[in-house]
A and B are shown apart, each in its own frame.
Chain A
Amino acid sequence: MNDQRPIIIIVFIFIIGAVLLTKLFLIQVMDDSFLKKAERNAIQRVVDHPYRGLVYDRNGKLLVYNNPIFDLMLVPKEFSVSDTTKFLELFGITKEHLIEYYTAARAYSYVKPSTFIKQISTKDFARIQDYLIDYPGLFIMTRSIRSYPNPIASHALGYIGEINSRQLERDSSNYYVQGDYVGLSGMERYYEDELRGVKGVKYKMVNVRGVDKGPFKDGDYDTASVAGHNITSSIDLELQKYGEMLMHGKTGSVVAIEPKTGEILSMISAPFYDPNTLTGAEFSKSYQALNNLETKPLFNRPIMATYPPGSIFKIVQSLIGLQEGVLTPETTFACNKSLVACHNHPSPLNLFGAIRNSCNPYYHQAFRQIINQEVSSNTYKDTEIGLNAWRERVLKFGLGGTLGVDMPNEKKGLVPNSQYYDHYYGNGRWKYSTIYSLSIGQGELLVTPIQMANLAAIFANKGYYYTPHLIKGLDGDSDQIPEDYLIKHDVGVDAHHFDMVQDAMVQALYGTAQRAIIKDIKVAGKTGTAQNPHGEDHSVFIAFAPKDNPKIAIAVYVENAGWGGRAAASTASLMIEKYLRGFSNRPELEKYVIEGKFMN
């Protein structure tokens, strides 16, 4: 019987081997979950954040760059301080702070680094750097924040900030993760895809304590980050700076456009803020503070504020009337103040005189010609048809809808159609007498300052415009701008109709805006006064110059500054001179504008 036992023992040995190999086969070959677990264990994916694109002005001067900032990181396990007093002095913190920070870091992880002091300035970094070696467990991590060498054009440039959960949900490309920075307003948001660049990924191996053990597979799977595109903005730094100096302490907008291209030379929203405050560690605090201000400095007025266009709209009415054929330059109307109020001027006037003198009753009568062309014998029906036809023409001037500027949250303004009045009065229950306010740019009409600047460009171009935009080129290449900004929009009014209008605008300055006149530069302009039911009227002025070869078209809004011929016309005039000559030689006018006592 014992003779079988050696055989049984050998069989037993083989069974052991077979059992072990079977189990090994099951976990090694059949089950790949262990491989995934091993990768989760030991391979860490580290995102290499790309360098965000820079922004230059139209002359190549830097507007936005990336400033390295330094976070002081702390590893509790390695941290030790021999001389606490010296340590606290060096970092400018109290003992309570140190204990609080350390406890928080400790609670997060004993071996992994956590932020000890956020965003140390370059200056402080230089001071601290040499002493860091004395404190084990502390090291510097470099990041970069947006910086602005000149604290200007904050609304146009916009700001970046940490992505919020709603944006993360909407991100269909799955590019972003929690904690990423993303453009939140202005160009930063509109050109986010161009500016952000491409993230790189590094796979590194870590040991059981999370300590870096070098690249995985010698970095074969790593990808380098690609820096974002640099954007050349159409903004003229000097003009912008000058304009912000003029608008300091006021509320309103300035938009200057190069008529031939639609490039925005300057875009000012007053009051403004220093863009450097909405970066880095200060972001949340500054944002809260700015957001709570009653003057609403974060509000991007040029594209978001809407006002009635006022008298300036009379030019649009004139052009539509001419194109419709219901007006000719010789058409005369009396200044009948029983129709609508007016100021004193010669009467009756032809179209040229009406523009020059901004005669309200003229346009009351002219607009009736445009609206009631007796297409229908029913006066209500006729008004409805006329209004909608007129509206189509107005929309072509870039009013009543977003222009499509390269900034988020552009407002449409309002050009009412028949449905709008039907809603208020009921179909067939309103006629010309209900809507006559539109004739002089009042009533329901609403426009944004940028739409007004665009109007100035249309008048300068004699009938066309390019959508106003802030981008001039990508990586120095001016062809690399969105195609939409290369499309010429025709407003549907023959060029020759503009000749008389332009002449009238030049002459208008002598009547209503003498402050806007510049020696040796032929400026064409038109004042307006946007009625404000809440307080003093808003001062409005649009202009372009030089009249015969327009280089700049501008719209200026100064809120609660009364008549357009004062605040707005003066500001526009100074900006035009500054842009065309590079300097302004009218210290008296400058002083007048800067002091801002327009109501005296």
Chain B
Amino acid sequence: MSEILKNRELQLIVMALAFLLVFIPYFVQSPALEAASTKLITITAIVNAVTLVLALNSQVRRGLNIINLRKTGWYFKAYMIITMVLMVVFAFFGRETGPYHWVMYAVINPLSSVNYGILAFYMASTAARAFRARNTQSILLLATGFIVLLYQAPLTGAYAPWLEPIALYFGNTFGMAAGRMFLISVTVGAIVFGVRVLMGKEQSVLGVGKEET
């Protein structure tokens, strides 16, 4: 049975059928097909939720293995497992009050916020040191960045309203063009990837190591 399930062709056929079942109802109005598509999506959502339990199991097993072998940084794994188990236990005492609530607001919230806040220092330092007018391109980048940064400071609009149309022009032309280009290229890339998967040329998604060209 397991050999049949490992069969690549069978896996590809199942994948193609699942794809068509979800894809076709976008173009063909058929209540039966839509119902089947919806059911399949709901099943996928439930299976995805169950994979969280699988991930938990894998993390604990891998972590315990690293701790047993005393590999580099094993204590981080021990810390991870302890906090993971504690949070699961805490959740049984309720989430509106009690230890889960305390950890959420007194530990995770400030730690997460500090982590994010620190980024501002790195970004400021990087921007201050990287923006150098070394050649024509970097002078253009610097000038544009300077205008947009100046406009982004809320006070600027109060004493230099003439800057707004210039900054908006950069955003609505060059910025928008770059944003569209990025979105379109990602979408086209995803379509190409999907077609390659269905043609059996990207077998990494099936858990098979090497992909074919």
Partners in one complex: no
* B residues adjacent to A (C-beta < 8 A): none
